Structure 1
Amino acid sequence: MKKRNITAQELRDRLSKDDNYQRKMKEKEAKREELEDMLNKDEEPLVLELKGLGLDIDSVWDLVNNLPHQFLERKFTVHYNTAYETLVKHLDFDYHPKTIEGIIRALTEKEAKEIAADKILELFYKETDKNLKWVMANALRTLMTWSKRQKHPEIGEVLKGI
């Protein structure tokens, strides 16, 4: 006997009545909220310093891909080149890898190359976390000229490897 496909609505109805599924979803949401709270506390020193520079942000991630977009509402859509030095300085702080990722992504701007490229290159060679190493390699692709990147073939290898 051939099974009948179910609709998305039928699946939602089944899952809404499945106590085991509902328990797992509540546990997953609680863990997500716990991680979010921890990350907010983790990046607090950086956020406070950036606010002191006049940037109205709640997270370093507000600086990432912050250009206005027709479909996405963005809280923060101004240039933040005055924050580059502060962001680079905070790369030496003992932050969670997600906070470091946010800092590096915020520095992945051509205008930040003079301030950020050398520090990110230094960290690239020390990094052991595969995800962060890729984020750094991706940033260096933006921050370094092609000829300078050719002196560091490891950058290209990391970008190809993931």
Structure 2
Amino acid sequence: MKASDFMKKLEADPEYQEMKRRKELELEERKALLAADERSLVKELALAGFEIESVWDFVNNNNRYEFLRKFDGGYRSAYSILVKHLDVEHHPRIREGIIRALAEKDANETASEALLAAFYQEQDSNLKWVLANTLRTVLTRSQKAKHPEYKEIYNAKGQP
């Protein structure tokens, strides 16, 4: 069967169309939930001069695919706002974006202590790994020696 024939079959299948409609609705609801969750963060960052739609714009700012970049350049002055939001209750997806946005070598002075505290307090195994990954970038060699636990968590997920 050709792909075009299969697509026509799916277009005519009411069960598939209903499933597709439900999935699209769920996606729109999730996008609205996440946007509402990070609204205060995005507003604070805008007041600091960063015109972003989501914290994930910082994460994707070095993406090799230009069409994925909504923000380009450095954002060192945003680190303190991001660190502040580590202590704010956010949806896990937004929290992950905050943590990943802090995965910059020059964030050490501003973020290392807060990231370490978050690492030791984090209960969610995925976010704990994301913190370990970020600490791998942010911490200095001597800090890494003092906190080897991050490496155990990082390596436990089968990463190199």
Report matched runs for 1:95-134 at 5 Å: 95-134=90-129
Instruction: List, as ranges, runs of 4+ consecutive aligned residues in structure 1 with deviation greater than 6 Å.
Output: none
Contact in 1 for aligned 2:60/2:68 (Cα 8 Å)? no
Aligned residue number for residue 151 of structure 1: 146
Cα deviation, residue 53, structure 1? 0.6
Q: What is the identity, as a one-letter code, of the residue corresponding to 1:151?
A: K
59-68 vs 32-41, greater mean Cα deviation: 59-68
Cα deviation, residue 18, structure 1? 1.6
Q: Secondary structure at the match of 1:72?
A: helix
Alpha-carbon separation, structure 1, partners of 2:108 and 2:5: 52
Alpha-carbon separation, structure 1, partners of 2:155 and 2:8: 43
Q: Return closer, same or farther for 1:124/1:57 CA change in 2, 3 Å cut-off.
A: same
Cα deviation digits, residues 19-77 of structure 1 (max 9, x gap): 11111111111111101101101101110000001111111111113026455342210
Cα deviation, residue 10, structure 1? 3.0
Report matched runs for 1:6-155 at 5 Å: 6-67=1-62, 69=64, 71-155=66-150
Aligned residue number for residue 3 of structure 1: none
Alpha-carbon separation, structure 1, partners of 2:141 and 2:10: 51
Q: What is the identity, as a one-letter code, of the residue corresponding to 2:134?
A: A
Alpha-carbon separation, structure 2, partners of 1:149 and 1:53: 31
Count of equivalent residues: 157
Cα deviation, residue 148, structure 1? 2.5
Alpha-carbon separation, structure 2, partners of 1:81 and 1:18: 51
Alpha-carbon separation, structure 2, partners of 1:111 and 1:64: 14
Alpha-carbon separation, structure 2, partners of 1:62 and 1:44: 14
11-20 vs 111-120, greater mean Cα deviation: 11-20
Contact in 1 for aligned 2:115/2:135 (Cα 8 Å)? yes
Alpha-carbon separation, structure 1, partners of 2:30 and 2:10: 25
**Runs of 5+ in structure 2 lacking a partner?**
none
Contact in 1 for aligned 2:132/2:153 (Cα 8 Å)? yes
Q: Secondary structure at the match of 1:12?
A: helix
Q: Name the TM-score, length of structure 1 as normaliser.
A: 0.89
Name the % identity: 46
Kindly report the root-mean-square deviation, in angstroms, between the aligned alpha carbons of the 2 structures: 1.6
Q: Name the TM-score, length of structure 2 as normaliser.
A: 0.90
